[in-house]
Structure 1
Amino acid sequence: MQANGYLLPANEATNHVQARSGDGRGSGEKAKPSNRVRLNGNIVRRKPGKRIQEYWDIDLPGFGLRVNPGGRRTWFVLFRQRGKLRRLSLGTSRDITPAMARRLARAKLAEVALDGLPTRRKTRAAQKSDAPLLRDYAERFWADYARHWKPSTRKRNESAIFKEILGAFGDRRIDDLAKGDILFWRDSFVERPGVFNRTLPVFSVMMGYAERLGLRPRGSNPCKGTPRYKRKPMERFLSAHEYARLATALRDYEAEQPLYVAAIRLLIFTGARCGEIEQLRWEWVQEPRLMLPDSKTGAKIVYLNRQAIDVIASLPDRKATGLLFPSFRNPDKPISLGIHWSKIRNRAALPDVRLHDLRHSFASVAIRNNISLMVIGKLLGHALAETTTRYAHLSDEIVADAAERVSGSIARLIGVGQ
């Protein structure tokens, strides 16, 4: 074994990690044969033990799989670089396949093996075609792209680009980023999965635009195929008793802030998004509809029921144009419901209910009233039918009740159970 950049023998890598994992064996003791296997899907499906287990690949020295008692399985590669033993996580078995993990491990080991060796000098032509640093490219991308985003999207994407992306890759060349870099970067968001899920699409757009500008080869977007973190959907539905408590809290708060209460009632009766109601303008009110020229999914129609029409009719100073719910401090700016909603939900003893949960609850009540998912999607303004299917599980109880009634009727017809 050479000291600088060459791969570790399989027994050295195995012994080192076994000594660190505290399994009671000395560093000079060889691993059990069962720990040296061919790392593939069969190994991933093995049940975890009561202690940490580490498996080593028999074909690629240094490539391993760490299995925690809780079931988390992490691919890694162990190598010696510049005289130091290093371990690099490649991702979990839920995020990348054994074949992908093997390719990443092989690429890293090849990179380490070449570390310190002389490299071919670039030709003048190659030096002239050098792509810019990501930090410099981001300024051009922002100038070209930001004007096409909505203000809320622009604000969110600005943080994603100039904080998250440039914070990690700002000093890298735009054409130097590879798939492995994105996967390693993904691991740094274990504690902030939502931030990664929002940042990755922005990064992908940046890489795609770089291809169109000729700064990267066509079809080389390193973000494509990178899995997002799986997150449990945040869904909260109000029960009948909770609706009653909310109604009482709204009546009590109406004397203090009638405009805010009216806006929240409009959210309840329409299932609209919070921003759609906050920024609602009189010129868009065409009863029995709200004709929104723009929304999260583009132009949208919000259908008004009798209760929603009554809420709008109760508003003072109806005008031909302007905001329905203007801010008291600046009539040209819309209200912000967040602060007042916190007070209202606390009065209703519903501290975990978000404003967006009023939209979820609208859908759940519609399902309990046997309204089809297709119609619910139309009411909520979903651009894709797949978005509405998230509420499909709410109809299980209704379907089960219908099955019970049908089977009961058949039983009576054939004289069973009488």
Structure 2
Amino acid sequence: MRISKRSVDDLVAGEKDTFWWDDALKGFGVKVTPLGKKVFVLQYRVGKSSTPRRITIGEYGQPWSPDRARDEAMRLRGIVASGVDPADRPPDKVSVTVKQLWEKYLEQASAHKKPTTLARDRSSAIRHIIPLIGDKDVRTLTKPDIQSFFSSVKAGKTATDEKTGPRGRAIVKGGPGTANRTLDLLSSMMTLAIELGIRRDNPTKGIKKFSLRSRDRYLTSEELKRLGDSLAVEQAAGTNPMALAAIRFLSLTGCRKSEALGLRWSWVDLENSLVSLPDSKTGARQLHLGNAAKELLMNMPRFANSPWVFPSARGEGPVVGIRKIWDAVRIRAGLGDFRLHDLRHSFASSAVSAGQSLYVVGKLLGHSQARTTQRYAHLAKGPVQSAADAISDEIAKKLAAK
């Protein structure tokens, strides 16, 4: 039945304790004793235990109305979902820490989020959220608590530089971008807390994010020439040819670094100038190869024992860590703070400036939403500008004839 004031009022006592269960909230029920006492309860299992447990919420009447009892049942279910048995301590003293909530969030997110997204979330949680507020009770978090946490991440209070293995290194920085991403994750965690009944509101709402400076950096024709010259010099000097080829491929296709470095020959169809990527940031997609990119792949050596287009010189995996080589190429070409990812922006800007529609550019880049491509709209020559060019050219011809 649906537990409500009317339905609870209609329940009558039997010869022994009788339980009535709610049809919407699992485990929420009313026990009716032989003496007619009506008590709200919650039945549940902790973890993978097959033995159900039951906890008393309160007797029907003030203050335990059906609605208030339902809210408390939802809160207790949230505590159970975090792996804590609320029967071990009085319900009003049971706490769920932010760290416990993160573990529950990770468990649920693993079923639908991409590995790369999960890795980014895990880094935000382990490097920022847990060190700063991991031990705090989710129920008592306030908006000032979140604001203080947000400002601390921006100020770099969780910044670190440590070795993670023989060749690994973790450089963790703060800053406005990191703070914004971490706030997004914390907001999603608080949404889960509401769904689990741990709290009724989201304390991250209303926290204003930091404004970020746009990084739309494109290469000019002269800079592209210098980049080509720099790549040639590095190649002549014996720099890792696979890393240099990967940089050229990024320049010629506009694909993401992860897509290029993880490229397998089995995905490449040179006959149709296509690369079928089984997964990417926006899911499976096809990467269209221009003539120059196709020629680059046709001239790449293939190794019988390696499936990778850009194999590593050491080990059996693909080439990784091309940052140092890129820095050498960038500095030699005099490109300033131009990032490797900016090659993707340059590819897009070249396409738009050449007259390609934003729809086509979005397809080339693998954008799933049109608004993502809109950042390049200002590079396209609009119809008004085209009309102005045509009219002024026509008038200029007549003036010249005079």
Same fold, TM-score > 0.5, yes or no: yes
Instruction: Give the letter for the 2:388 counterpart.
Output: E
Instruction: Give the gaps of 5 or more residues in structure 1.
Output: 1-123
**Given the alignment, which residue of 299, 305, 309 partners 1:314?**
299
User: Which residue does 1:207 correspond to in 2?
Assistant: 190
Residue of 290, 299, 309 corresponding to 2:284: 299
Equivalent residue for 2:324, pick from 322, 335, 339 = 339
Distance 1:158 1:411, change over 3 A: same
Paired amino acid for 1:195: T
Q: Is the 8 A contact 2:267 2:275 kept in 1?
A: yes
State whether residues 342 and 351 of structure 1, in contact with CA within 8 Å, keep that contact through their aligned partners in structure 2: no
Identity, in percent, stands at 36
SS state at 2:287 partner: strand
Q: Does 1:407 align with 2:391?
A: yes
- The question of whether the paired residues in 1 share the 8 Å contact of 2:252 and 2:347 is answered with yes
1:27 match? none
| Equivalences for residues 84-99 of structure 1 within 5 A | none
Within 1, Cα distance between the matches of 2:362 and 2:243?
27
Equivalent residues in 2 for 1:253-402 (5 A)? 253-255=234-236, 256=238, 257-287=240-270, 288-317=273-302, 322-395=307-380, 402=386
Paired residue for 1:241? 222
Map residues 10-159 of structure 1 onto 2, 5 A cutoff.
127=91, 130-146=94-110, 149-159=113-123
What is the CA-CA distance between 1:222 and the residue it aligns to?
A: 2.3
**In the alignment, residue 376 of structure 2 is paired with which amino acid?**
Y
Counterpart AA for 2:359:
M
1:347-385 Cα deviation digits (max 9, x unpaired)? 212232111111111111112211111111111111111
Q: 1:346 to 1:409 in 2, by over 3 A?
A: closer
**How far is 1:214 from its partner?**
2.7
Q: 1:305 to 1:143 in 2, by over 3 A?
A: same
CA distance in structure 1 between the partners assigned to 2:396 and 2:217 by the alignment: 40
Q: Against the structure 1 CA distance between its residues 265 and 414, is the aligned structure 2 distance closer, same or farther, given a 3 Å change threshold?
A: closer
Cα contact 2:109–2:118 (8 A) shared by 1: no
Contact 2:230/2:329 (<8 A) preserved: yes
Q: 1:143 to 1:412 in 2, by over 3 A?
A: closer
Distance 1:180 1:238, change over 3 A: same
Task: Specify every segment of 5 or more residues in structure 2 that has no aligned partner in the other structure, as ranges.
Answer: 1-87, 156-174
| Aligned mates of 1:194, 1:159 — CA distance in 2 | 14
Deviation at 1:215, TM superposition (A): 2.1
Contact 1:282-1:320 within 8 A present in 2 as well = no
CA contact (8 A) 1:283 1:320 kept: no
**Partner amino acid, structure 2, of 1:268:** S
**Match of 1:140, as an amino acid?**
K
Q: Structure 2: how far apart are the matches of 1:413 and 1:310? A: 42
Is 1:252 matched with 2:233?
A: yes
Matched residues in 1 for 2:294 and 2:398: separation? 51
Equivalent residue in structure 1 for 2:210, among 229, 233, 237: 229
| CA distance in structure 2 between the partners assigned to 1:315 and 1:413 by the alignment | 50
Check whether the contact 2:151–2:179 (CA below 8 A) recurs between aligned residues.
no
Q: Please state how far the C-alpha of 1:149 moved relative to its aligned partner.
A: 4.5
TM-score by length of 2: 0.65
Instruction: Report if the CA contact (8 A) 1:133-1:172 is conserved.
Output: yes
Q: Are 1:160 and 2:124 an aligned pair?
A: yes
